[in-house]
Amino acid sequence: MSAATKAIEAGHIWTFPGGIHPPERKDRSNTTPIEVLPLAKQFIVPIKQHSGPVGDLLVAVGDNVKAGQPLTQVGINNALPVHAPTSGTVSAIGPGRIAHPSGLTATVITIDADGNDEFYSFTPLADYTTLSRAELLDCIRQAGVAGLGGAGFPTAQKLALQRPLDYLIINGVECEPYISADDRLMREHAQTIIDGTEILLHIAGCEKALIAIEANKPEAIAAFEALLPNYPQLALRVVPTKYPSGGEKQLIQLLTGRQVPSRGLPIDVGLVMQNVGTAFAVAQAVLNGKPLIERVVTVTGDNIAKPGNYWVRIGTTVAELLNQCGFNPVADSKQEQRVIMGGPMMGFTLPDLDVPVVKITNCILVPSNQELAPAAEEMNCIRCGACADVCPAQLLPQQMQWLAKAKDYDGLEQQNLFDCIECGACAYVCPSEIPLVHYYRKAKAEIRNIAREKAKAEVARERFEARQERLEREKQERLERHRKAAEARKKAQAEAVAQGGDNPQDAVQAAIARAKARKAAQAAAAAKQNQEGDDE
Amino acid sequence: MTVVTALIVLGVLALAFGLVLGFAAVRFRVESDPIVDQIDALLPQTQCGQCGYPGCRPYAEAIANGDEINKCPPGGQATINALADLMGVEAKPLDSAHGEEDVKKVAVIREDECIGCTKCIQACPVDAILGAAKQMHTVIAHECTGCDLCVEPCPVDCIDMVPVPVRPDNWQWDLQQIPVKNVESSH
């Protein structure tokens, strides 16, 4: 065992560069148990709630569905299905506003709840330890489990990468201020999370898991400490409170001292990471056969009367959720109430409150203007360098901001823009209130777009060349055909002549001779007439 | 005598170096992109012919032979700048005689009006229209370059050029955040 591995085993906690300590404000929502809210009357289920292709529709308007019934299927493009959140009738399928910062629409399935909340019959797997990896991955995929930490990457796809693994890391850090959904889940469902972790270990073919929790969650730590002595393959790691220690690359650096290579994946350094919520969802899928149709959402902020954590069915609209929690929009008529999906650092302001809660929604934040000041006027960069000090990815935010404003995309790639995790630490410390992350996101979208256009142009060029080639080939073939036909004709004639038949060439010659004779006769007749005329 | 020695020595040296250089020229030949390929790679490959040449590659050949670099409306100023960089000439604004820079578009056939004449299929430079004689035609949207060449031949004018829709996955982050609309709480 190498020294580094020994240090990991001994529970050494490394550190990562930069990071900030914003006010946590988690105590508003983490003191009460997770509550179950009354069912909404209508649910809006977007068919794409994860990263990757969308599934094919399985239902039509007017169909009756039961809770947990798949609405889309895996299909040929290996998509992630979505499920009905409750029993009811499909009332519409079509474009609808989704929870996306653009406020654009995507295909959504609207379900009118019948209020009975009847469940689809689930078939739990038999003892999972006897099942093959492929069967378990299929079960997780069919249950629609995506990474609940934020990115929504399909869990089965992440686990399907078959590479030797040193550790599975279960991420219970939840470092972003205000959010306490994972904290409450760990306190109340530590056993289920451990069961899920064991299943994940079994699928990944990995020996050991590290469960990471931030030091500001003593109750969750206690809940795991009480259970872990029975599980020698699981180890608890308490990481110091700092934002963004819950970032995948940052947490790996904290727990193992390893660095994920630029544009690489944790599996490149022998690790795989899953969120505690995902571990919980995997346990539900494998042990109970239950698909992912609800998640814990933190609803918090000064303008919420009943802040706390709630079990929310996927597809519940934000407006409905806020009404249940006592929503007091800001009274000032000049200032509209902001509603943020996600936390204050990485979340985005919702364009509209009729958008649904999706698999990756961990928090709805309704701040007053005192606690979270609205975006102020951007001022000039004073080159203080505070952003570079706090960047956890050791990038140069100030430099990247200049390049992004100048649209120098080559320069941005040289500055490793794509290593930016968009944590927002730079914008948080910026004394000039520059929305740095916005500039990076825009530049990233632009660079991706250019790459897409380039790939498309390449395809167009290939197709154009293929077409030119085809046209040329067809032309040659046509000429060849004509040539062959002419040859065959000549040959047939020659044969006919040889056999004593009429030579068409003779007929032509004869016709020419006849024409000539006629012309000569006409000329002679005319000459004669002229002569007669002269004689008179 | 010394003159002869000098001549022989120099001759032998010249021969030896000549051989070394000749060998190096063959052995270490650098396969560089011919300039036409490099220019072609910068052009947008819409094959629209707005430059006056039948496709992007012919225009690339023309540029290599000294034609102006500002005749490509689909590429716009970005392409002109890239071409100016490559050719070592001054970037200039787009020549409006060849058209204006426009948003990306895609051809859409109004299928119930299509009479199945196959004229658009023959016009499409990238084979992005599917159909057969007296059968309805349709555009393979993701292969369409928006070149406009199918619109003119259509005898029933059933082809529209529509801007490529913005979807969440090709959306460009807006620096101006969309303001939040207030939803009155209903209790």
Confidence of residue B174 (pLDDT cuts 50, 70, 90): low
CATH architecture of A126-290: 3-Layer(aba) Sandwich (3.40)
Which CATH number do you get for residue B149?
Answer: 3.30.70.20
Give the integer Cα–Cα distance in Å for A115 and B147.
53
Q: Nearest Cβ partner of A349 from B56, B171, B180?
A: B180
**Which residues in chain A touch residue B172, judged by CB atoms under 8 angstroms apart?**
442, 445-446, 449
pLDDT band at B184 (very low <50, low <70, confident <90, very high): very low
Confidence class for position B32, pLDDT limits 50, 70, 90: low
The verdict on residue B113 lying in a domain is yes
Q: What is the DSSP string of B101-130?
A: ----EEEEE-TTT-----HHHHH-TT--EE
Residue finishing a domain among B50, B77, B98 = B98
Q: Is A461 close to B172, i.e. CB distance below 8 A? A: no
Tokens found for residue B136: 């309805």
Q: If we measure between CA atoms, which residue out of B100, B117, B124 comes closest to residue B158? A: B117
Mutate to test the interface with B, among A325, A438, A464, A470 (most CBs of B within 10 A): A464
Is B184 among the domain residues? Answer: no
Q: Is the peptide bond before A307 cis (omega within 30 degrees of 0)?
A: no
* Per-residue pLDDT tens digits of chain A, which is 536 residues long: 788 889 998 889 999 999 999 999 999 899 999 999 999 999 999 999 888 888 889 999 999 999 999 999 988 778 899 999 999 999 999 998 888 888 888 899 999 999 888 888 888 777 888 888 889 999 999 999 999 887 789 999 888 887 889 999 999 999 999 999 999 999 999 999 999 999 999 999 888 999 999 999 999 999 999 999 999 999 999 999 999 999 999 999 999 999 999 989 999 999 999 999 999 999 999 999 899 999 999 999 988 999 999 999 999 999 999 999 988 887 665 667 889 999 999 988 888 889 999 999 999 999 988 888 887 888 999 999 999 999 999 999 999 999 999 988 989 999 999 999 999 999 999 999 999 999 999 999 999 988 998 999 999 999 999 999 999 999 999 999 999 999 999 898 888 878 877 676 777 888 888 999 999 999 988 888 887 766 65
Residue B80, domain CATH: 1.10.15.40
CB-based contacts of A276, cutoff 8 Å, min separation 6 = A170, A171, A172, A182, A185, A186, A193, A211
- Strands A42-46 and A105-113, how do they pair? antiparallel
d(CA A463, CA B59): 17
**Nearest CA-CA partner of A363 in A376, A347, A378, A382:** A347
Class of domain A380-496: mainly alpha
What single letter denotes the amino acid at residue A428? Y
Give the model's confidence band at B185: pLDDT under 50 very low, under 70 low, under 90 confident, else very high. very low
Partner residue opposite A463 with nearest CB, options B126, B166, B172: B126
Query: Whole-angstrom Cα distance, residue A70 to residue A106?
Result: 19
Q: How far apart are CA A24 and CA A179, in angstroms?
A: 9
Domain count, chain B: 2
Model confidence pLDDT, tens digit, residues B90-134: 888 888 888 888 888 899 999 999 999 999 999 999 999 999 999
- Predicted TM-score (pTM) of the model is 0.82
Residue B142 is part of which domain span? 105-163
The whole-angstrom separation of Cα A386 and Cα A426 is 7
Which candidate, B45, B166, B157, B57, places its Cα nearest to that of B103?
A: B166
CA distance A515 to A517: 5
Of A337, A354, A439, the CB nearest to B182: A337
Name, in order, each residue with C-beta under 8 angstroms of A50's C-beta and a sequence gap of 6 or more: A80, A146, A152, A153, A154, A359, A360
Whether residue B177 is predicted with pLDDT greater than 80 in this model: the reply is no
Residues A290, A157 contacting (CB under 8 angstroms): no
pLDDT at B180 (0 to 100):
39
3-class DSSP assignment, residue B57: helix
Q: What is the ipTM of this complex?
A: 0.77
Helix, strand, coil in percent for chain B, rounding step 5: 35, 5, 55
∠ Cα A188 A190 A195 (to 5°): 135
The domain spans of chain A are: 126-290, 380-496
Contacts of A37 (CB under 8 A, 6+ apart): A310, A311, A312, A316, A321, A324
One domain, residues B112 and B69: no
* Contact predicate A86/A110, CB 8 Å: no
Smallest Cα–Cα separation from A416: which of A295, A263, A239? A263
Distances in Å between the Cα of A165 and the Cα atoms of A169, A202, A247, A266, A268 are 11, 12, 20, 10, 9
> Two tokens at A353?
């409150």
Binding-site positions of B: 48, 51, 56, 72, 114, 117, 120, 124, 144, 147, 150, 154
Ordered DSSP codes for B132-178: -TTS--EE-GGG-----TTTTT-TT--EEEEEPPP-TTTPPPPSSPP
- Residues in a beta bridge with A172: A213
Which chain B residues have a beta carbon less than 8 Å from that of A319?
A: 183
B18 domain-assigned: no
Cβ atoms of residues A315 and A45 within 8 Å? yes
Q: How confident is the model at residue B175 (pLDDT cuts 50, 70, 90)?
A: low
Residue A240 backbone dihedrals phi, psi, to 5 degrees: -65, 150
CB A214 within 8 A of CB A243: no
Interchain CB distance below 8 Å, B128 and A339? no
In A, minimum Cα distance to B47 occurs at: A464
Q: Which residue of A has its CA nearest to B56?
A: A461
Residue A46 to residues A77, A99, A322: CA-CA distances in angstroms? 18, 9, 20
Digit-coded pLDDT (tens) for B140-157: 998 999 888 999 999 999
Q: Indicate yes or no: CB of B182 within 8 angstroms of CB of A100.
A: no
Among A352, A439, A457, whose Cβ lies nearest the Cβ of B181?
A352
Q: What is the pLDDT of residue B102?
A: 83
Domain shared by B54 and B81, yes or no: yes
Within its chain, how far is the Cα of A420 from the centroid? 17
Chain B residues with CB within 8 Å of chain A CB: 40, 43-47, 55-57, 125-128, 142-143, 145, 166-168, 170-175, 177-187
Q: How far is CA A39 from CA A85, A89, A290, A454, B4, in A?
A: 10, 15, 18, 48, 109
Q: Are residues B58 and B85 in the same domain?
A: yes
Domain boundary among B80, B98, B116: B98
Tell me if A464 and B47 make a contact (CB, 8 A cut-off): yes
- Based on the fold, state whether residues B71 and B123 are members of the same structural domain: no
Q: Quick check: A306 and A325 in contact, CB under 8 A?
A: yes
Question: Per-residue confidence at B186, pLDDT binned at 50, 70, 90?
Answer: very low
